[in-house]
Amino acid sequence: MGSYAVQTGTGRMVAHNMVTTQFELDGFRVVRTLGVVRGITVRSRSIFGTIGASLQTLVGGNISLLTNLCERARAEAFDLMLRHAADLGGNAVVGARYDATEVMQGVTEVLAYGTAVFVEAAK
């Protein structure tokens, strides 16, 4: 996989710079399309987080407790997607997207998905 994959404590994953929302990766050509990959996480707010966020709404502005929770959920889903791509033999992901759904009050599912591909540097 060359320099397009990284080793983590939990295994291989596609390098972050090898992911794009486009359907082509500049400077590379797709050799193989490996299929749809996804990473999913489901998060809930703790009672303390809910109380803290409620207090932050009183003063207005960014609700940092919820922003941090959302960012951690997105990052986890993204990394799971990159591991899934590497497991299929990919070294890049094209057409990457996020989706989020509230599955019950205070519980949110975050999904990162895209198409795993194996790319080579364009000549």
Question: What would the pLDDT profile of 24-74 be if each residue is shown by its tens digit?
Answer: 999 999 999 999 999 999 977 655 555 555 555 556 556 666 678 789 899
- Count other Cβ atoms within 10 Å, centred on residue 110: 22
The mean predicted confidence, pLDDT, of the chain is 84
For residues 89 and 118, the answer to whether their CB atoms sit within 8 Å is yes
For 7, the token pair is 């080793």
pLDDT at 80 exceeding the cut of 60: yes
Full strand arrangement of the beta sheet holding 107-121 = 28-44, 107-121, 92-104
The pLDDT score that the predictor gives to residue 67 is 75
The pLDDT score that the predictor gives to residue 33 is 98
Q: What is the mean pLDDT of residues 11-19?
A: 93
Q: What confidence category does residue 8 fall into, taking pLDDT thresholds of 50, 70 and 90?
A: low
pLDDT at 9 exceeding the cut of 90: no
Q: How many domains does one find in the chain?
A: 1
Share of the chain above pLDDT 70, in %: 74
CATH number at residue 35: 3.30.110.70
Does the predicted model carry a pTM greater than 0.75? yes
As a whole number of angstroms, the distance between CA 80 and CA 70 comes to: 15
For residues 14 and 5, the answer to whether their CB atoms sit within 8 Å is yes
Whole domain around residue 93: which residue ranges? 2-121
The pLDDT score that the predictor gives to residue 1 is 44
Handedness of CA 79, 85, 90, 95 (dihedral sign): negative
